[in-house]
Amino acid sequence: MPLRILTAGESHGPALTAIIEGLPAGLHLDREAMDHQLARRQRGYGRGGRMQIESDRTEITSGLRFGVTLGSPLTLTIANRDRENWRERMAVWEGSDDDPVRVPRPGHADLAGALKYGHRDLRSVLERASARETATRVAVGAVLRQLLAEFGIWIGGHVIRTGMAATGDSFRTLPADNRKQYETLIRDLCGRAAESDVGCGDPETAEMMKKEIDNAMAAGDSLGGVFETAALGVPAGLGSNGMWDRRLDAAIGAAMMSIPGIKAVEIGLGTEAASLPGSRVHDPILSAAPPFPGRGSNNAGGIEGGISNGQPLIVRAAMKPIPTLTGPLPSVNIETGEKTGAHRERSDVCAVPAAEVVGEAMLAIALADALIERTGGDSLDRMKRGLDI
């Protein structure tokens, strides 16, 4: 698709890097807004010690002049502060590791990565498989949300489940027949969630979520959860029904599924739609006039036939528990074949609030790509002229 993005970097290597190619010229970037998104990713009750070490900031080394994009590839770098503690074990040239990782963690990339690449020290797999990599996605997303904002598109989200603690608050159950009110309710839900260190705006559930995390930590266990992401102001006509790889829901599905730990993605009513009759699923059409076609509900989650329909986009994603357990699961030493507890490594007990922020970034990436495709890209002015509905 028109936007090409590459990221690179090991968790304890010198730095993380991202290159965005295909970004239009003429976009004024706000540095603080980028660092704000990175700080949001670092938040969260249940995060491990690494987040105390890092204070993520984006350096830009190409594609920007006087704070305005040039249309050339934009290179973003995030330093790994923890690098200082790993100079020898993660040296790019000469170095050594006297404590190689031999026992794969069930659920992590350790074993599958070792089988694929032939590594005997699992650190050579886990360093890139670490969710540290998601910092680059959030940095890229922070650039692209600024592009989307030029078109009135806004993205937010909240956590609705942590382990067994779940709130009934959901974008799905908000009344959608009055557009203005619907968007206000979505923003309010996200605003309340932003105040919470578990990413949930319902204080009672947030307390239950913290208890779940405390209990999991005490038991040497870990937790997953579910978050919702919404995009407001998305114009009708992004994506296409014409071919599977042009469907907007396919692009969003792939973007969200690519987040480490995500096992399921739903759009709109999602799996609930499968058990209801059509009369209770499909959204009545009340008016067809652009830019805001009136609909009685938004069970489709803003996409019909793979095309955005002018309604808010509603996405849900489920994350499995973090694979690193302090009470380790059964595993095997890949050198000796000896049965033993899986490798333990400093980790998070729960990272769903961080994943929610990454989800917003991935939605921004999918939407920016579709918007550039629809409007032709090149420069912000041309893009604005290209959006004629």
- Binding-site ranges for ligand EPS (CB under 6 A): 11, 48, 50, 82, 130-132, 134-135, 322, 324, 345-348, 351, 354
Neighbours of 209 (CB within 10 A): 32
Cβ closest to ligand EPS, residue 176 vs residue 262: 262
Q: Give dist(CA 313, CA 70) in Å, integer.
A: 30
Q: Give dist(CA 173, CA 228) in Å, integer.
A: 12
Cβ closest to ligand EPS, residue 83 vs residue 192: 83
Cβ closest to ligand EPS, residue 21 vs residue 82: 82
Shortest spacing between CB 119 and ligand EPS, in angstroms? 16
Shortest spacing between CB 299 and ligand EPS, in angstroms? 34
Exposed (0-12), middle (13-18) or buried (19+): which is 34, by Cβ within 10 Å?
Answer: buried
Cβ closest to ligand EPS, residue 19 vs residue 90: 90
| Structure tokens that stand for 249 in this block | 């829901």
Shortest spacing between CB 109 and ligand EPS, in angstroms? 9
Cβ closest to ligand EPS, residue 90 vs residue 234: 90
User: In this structure, what are the phi and psi dihedrals at residue 42, rounded to the nearest 5 degrees?
Assistant: -80, -10
| Structure tokens that stand for 276 in this block | 């209801």
Any idea of the CA torsion for 166, 170, 175, 179, to the nearest 10 degrees? Answer: 160
Shortest spacing between CB 25 and ligand EPS, in angstroms? 32
Shortest spacing between CB 351 and ligand EPS, in angstroms? 6
Q: Give dist(CA 106, CA 325) in Å, integer.
A: 10
Q: Give dist(CA 161, CA 163) in Å, integer.
A: 6
Cβ closest to ligand EPS, residue 71 vs residue 107: 107
Shortest spacing between CB 196 and ligand EPS, in angstroms? 19
Q: Which of 232, 302, 299, 227 is nearest to 263 (CA)?
A: 227
Cβ closest to ligand EPS, residue 65 vs residue 346: 346
Q: At a CB cut-off of 8 Å and minimum separation 6, what does 223 contact?
A: 46, 162, 163, 212, 213, 216, 321, 322, 349, 350, 352
Q: Angle 352-375/31-42 helices, nearest 10 degrees? A: 140
Shortest spacing between CB 358 and ligand EPS, in angstroms? 9
Cβ closest to ligand EPS, residue 134 vs residue 205: 134
Cβ closest to ligand EPS, residue 135 vs residue 206: 135
Shortest spacing between CB 222 and ligand EPS, in angstroms? 9
Q: At a CB cut-off of 8 Å and minimum separation 6, what does 67 contact?
A: 28, 29, 31
Neighbours of 290 (CB within 10 A): 12
Q: List the beta bridge partners of residue 60.
A: 76
Cβ closest to ligand EPS, residue 22 vs residue 260: 260
Q: Indicate if the alpha-carbon torsion angle 70, 32, 364, 319 is positive or negative.
A: positive
DSSP state of 381: H
Shortest spacing between CB 157 and ligand EPS, in angstroms? 17
User: In this structure, what are the phi and psi dihedrals at residue 195, rounded to the nearest 5 degrees?
Assistant: -80, -15
Shortest spacing between CB 52 and ligand EPS, in angstroms? 10
